[in-house]
């Protein structure tokens, strides 16, 4: 394997490790948190700034209402204490009521606009993630559990959306209230306000403590939720095996252990976040006592120009500061959780595709030319090399076959041809053109593939066939279905869905759908990996004659265990543990009396029952 590729793979592995583990932890806002927030802002919020300004203005109005309320209350109290003019008192009451109606209106409008903005951000975030996922290499999906992907696309984006919508708007409102009311109180009585600030270090200490704990627990909870979702997915899709092996209890025990773990982590998170409120309450109690004591002293002492109305209003102001301050502190605890989630979401972008169009890649190439593998080196994992310098030529327009024991690398060769993986050394060319210099889409469009692991979607058989060529006419689909001997089943089932992963179909029916897809696609190169292994002999015979017509004149590569089915191939390649041990026509290989001949004799014995 080339150093460069090895490095790329290692980097990819690291990226995966990074994206499933908590990346970096730090109290309050670490550098990573700030980077994530900047990323989120620039990608999903900045272009919605005008709506954010609207929200901010409405929130400012809410804050100003409180400040005006305080000012009016102080005036009202003075009217009562001093002038005693009832008309002035009525005016104060009417204005105060009006102010709160205005605040109420803003409280109605802010969430509506905020939710609109956040829903749009969630939608954009999901769309981006879907696009990014689609661009990633197959290898990523083979090593990443689907639960983790689901978790990011569904739950985590939703959590972030909800948070930036309503909770963030509320937090800004609370912050604005705290700032405006505090400003007013500082202006009114800076000495008294200054004494209240003594509680700040205590609050900051609590926040730090909580931040650290919450991030830690939230990281574990996200991991546990991903594991749990993955467990459900595995159990549900593997229910046939679960039932046959009578493992229902084991599986339910495993899933229940998952939910217990989630419950415990959630309780731990709540416990930590719950520390915030009482510490703010304690601080506020301390401040209230200070204000009552200090303020009372100021009223009594002639050296201060402070009256009873001023102190009562100040105390009311402090209540109005602490109330949103409590909510802000609670928000802060939740924010720490969201920072962890944001980090996970962003982690998906650490993954980058390694298989993509090279600069200057072209779409045109001789699809009928020879397919050459020159000195191919490849391994799925660095410690287990599969191909250590493989040379092969599949002649254009002819039928070649690859045979060999299970695990010898037959399917991998087909995957390398269509660049599901890239070779780590050597070169593959089609018609003399290196496949790395071709547009990936153009390359893949030149193949019709009947793979070993057939993927059937929960749709009708008809739609499953049409999947490989959505623009195909009705007649074309029927023709392909007839050739693959699946048309009768389509007629019998109509448009009925075939169950998740085609669960309502037999293995042979699935295989016939895959063959019908190959007929419909009718690409110039055919890759048939155990294409007829699940069919009974009579059906296989019938399909075979149709397949012969399909493959005529096309470059065809067949992988098969049943050697009798490849006897007619123009050339047969025999693989053993990733190495080409012999090749030639059926008769030549038999005459050579090597591995092929031994395999053939063994199979013949088996069939003859001797």
Ligand X SMILES: Nc1ncnc2c1ncn2[C@@H]1O[C@H](COP(=O)(O)OP(=O)(O)OP(=O)(O)O)[C@@H](O)[C@H]1O
How are strands ordered across the β-sheet holding 399-404?
447-450, 525-529, 555-559, 399-404, 571-576, 579-584
Binding mask 411-430 for ligand X (x = CB under 6 A): xx------------------
Stretch in the footprint of ligand X (CB under 6 A) among 102-110, 306-314, 332-340, 409-417: 409-417
CA angle 430, 431, 434 (to 5 degrees): 45
* Separation in Å, CA 108 to CA 59, 112, 113, 329, 540: 11, 7, 9, 23, 69
Binding mask 430-459 for ligand X (x = CB under 6 A): ----------------------x-------
**Which one among 75, 313, 408, 509 touches ligand X, defined by CB under 6 A?**
408
**Contact yes or no for 154/77 (Cβ under 8 A):** no
Q: Which is nearer to ligand X, 382 or 432 (CB)?
A: 382
Q: What is the DSSP secondary structure assignment for residue 416, as one 8-state letter? A: H
Q: Which long-range contacts (CB under 8 A, 24 or more apart) does 47-54 make?
A: 48/117, 48/120, 48/121, 51/113, 51/116, 51/117, 52/117, 54/113
* 384-403: contacts with ligand X (CB under 6 A): 386
Q: Which is nearer to ligand X, 405 or 590 (CB)?
A: 405
Binding mask 111-150 for ligand X (x = CB under 6 A): -------------------------------x--------
| Dihedral class, residue 389 (left if φ above 0, else alpha if ψ from -120 to 50, else beta) | left
**Contact yes or no for 268/217 (Cβ under 8 A):** yes
Least Å distance, CB 223 to ligand X, is 23
Q: Which is nearer to ligand X, 209 or 380 (CB)?
A: 380
Stretch in the footprint of ligand X (CB under 6 A) among 154-162, 248-256, 407-415, 492-500: 407-415
Q: Which is nearer to ligand X, 428 or 465 (CB)?
A: 428
CA angle 25, 30, 35 (to 5 degrees): 110
Residue whose tokens read 């050459």: 372
Residue 380 engages ligand X in binding (rule: CB under 6 A): yes
- CA end-to-end span of the chain: 45
Q: Which is nearer to ligand X, 407 or 553 (CB)?
A: 407
* Separation in Å, CA 321 to CA 170, 185, 577: 14, 10, 74
Run of H or E residues at 298: helix 276-300
Q: Which is nearer to ligand X, 407 or 432 (CB)?
A: 407
Stretch in the footprint of ligand X (CB under 6 A) among 25-33, 349-357, 406-414, 580-588: 406-414
Q: Which is nearer to ligand X, 26 or 385 (CB)?
A: 385
**Which one among 187, 406, 453, 538 touches ligand X, defined by CB under 6 A?**
406
d(CA 447, CA 415): 11
- Assign 3-state DSSP to the chain and report helix, strand, coil percentages, each to 5: 70, 10, 20
Q: Which is nearer to ligand X, 4 or 406 (CB)?
A: 406
**Which one among 213, 344, 410, 554 touches ligand X, defined by CB under 6 A?**
410
**Which one among 165, 409, 425, 502 touches ligand X, defined by CB under 6 A?**
409
How many residues touch ligand X under the rule CB under 6 A: the total is: 12
Interface with ligand X by CB under 6 A: which residues?
142, 380, 386, 404, 406-412, 452
């Amino acid at each position: 394997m080339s150093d460069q590729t090895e490095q790329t793979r290692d980097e990819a592995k690291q990226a995966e490790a990074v994206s499933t583990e908590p990346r970096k932890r730090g109290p309050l806002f670490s550098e990573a948190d700030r980077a994530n927030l900047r990323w989120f802002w620039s990608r999903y919020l900045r272009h919605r700034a005008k709506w954010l300004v609207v929200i901010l203005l409405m929130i400012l109005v809410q804050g100003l209402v409180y400040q005006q309320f305080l000012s009016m209350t102080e005036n009202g109290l003075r009217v009562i204490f001093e002038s005693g003019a009832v008309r002035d008192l009525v005016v104060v009451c009417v204005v105060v009521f009006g102010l709160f109606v205005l605040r109420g209106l803003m409280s109605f409008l802010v969430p509506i606009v905020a939710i609109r903005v956040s829903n749009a951000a969630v939608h954009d975030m999901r769309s981006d993630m879907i696009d990014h996922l689609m661009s990633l290499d197959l290898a990523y999906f083979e090593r990443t559990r689907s639960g983790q992907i689901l978790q990011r696309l569904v739950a985590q984006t939703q959590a972030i959306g909800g948070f930036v919508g309503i909770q963030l708007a509320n937090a800004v409102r609370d912050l604005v209230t705290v700032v405006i009311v505090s400003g007013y109180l500082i202006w009114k009585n800076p000495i008294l306000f200054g004494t209240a600030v003594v509680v700040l270090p205590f609050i900051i200490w609590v926040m730090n403590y909580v931040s650290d704990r919450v991030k830690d627990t939230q990281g574990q909870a996200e991991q546990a939720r991903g594991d749990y979702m993955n467990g459900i997915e595995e159990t549900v899709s593997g229910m046939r095996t679960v039932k046959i092996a009578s493992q229902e209890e084991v599986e339910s025990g495993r899933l229940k252990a998952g939910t217990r773990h989630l419950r415990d982590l959630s309780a731990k998170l709540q416990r930590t976040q719950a520390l915030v409120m009482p510490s703010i309450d304690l601080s506020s109690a301390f401040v209230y006592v200070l204000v009552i004591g200090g303020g009372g002293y100021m009223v009594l002492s002639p050296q201060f120009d402070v009256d009873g109305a001023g102190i009562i209003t100040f105390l009311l102001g402090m209540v109005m500061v602490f109330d949103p301050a409590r909510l802000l502190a609670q928000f802060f605890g939740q924010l720490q959780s969201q920072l962890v989630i944001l980090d996970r979401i962003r982690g998906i972008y650490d993954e980058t595709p390694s298989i993509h169009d090279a600069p200057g890649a072209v779409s045109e190439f001789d699809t009928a030319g020879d397919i050459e593998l020159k000195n191919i080196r490849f391994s799925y994992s660095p410690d287990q090399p599969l191909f250590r310098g493989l040379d092969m030529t599949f002649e254009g327009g002819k039928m070649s076959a690859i045979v060999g024991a299970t695990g010898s690398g037959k399917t991998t060769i087909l995957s390398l041809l269509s660049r599901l993986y890239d070779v780590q050394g050597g070169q593959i060319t089609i018609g003399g053109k290196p496949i790395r210099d071709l547009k990936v889409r153009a390359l893949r469009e030149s193949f019709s593939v009947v793979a070993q692991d057939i993927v059937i979607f929960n749709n009708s058989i008809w739609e499953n066939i049409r999947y490989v060529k959505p623009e195909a006419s009705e007649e074309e689909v029927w023709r392909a279905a007839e050739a693959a001997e699946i048309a009768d089943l389509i007629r019998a089932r109509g448009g009925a869905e075939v169950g998740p992963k085609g669960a309502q179909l037999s293995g042979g029916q699935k295989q016939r759908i895959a063959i019908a897809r190959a007929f419909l696609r009718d690409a110039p190169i055919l890759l048939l990996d155990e294409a007829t292994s699940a069919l009974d002999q009579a059906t296989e015979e019938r399909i075979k004659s149709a397949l012969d017509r399909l493959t005529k004149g096309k470059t065809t590569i067949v992988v098969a265990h049943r050697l009798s089915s490849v006897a007619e191939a123009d050339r047969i390649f025999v693989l053993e543990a990733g190495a080409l041990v012999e090749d030639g026509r059926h008769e030549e290989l038999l005459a050579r009396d090597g591995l092929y001949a031994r395999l053939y004799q063994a199979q013949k014995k088996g069939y003859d029952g001797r």
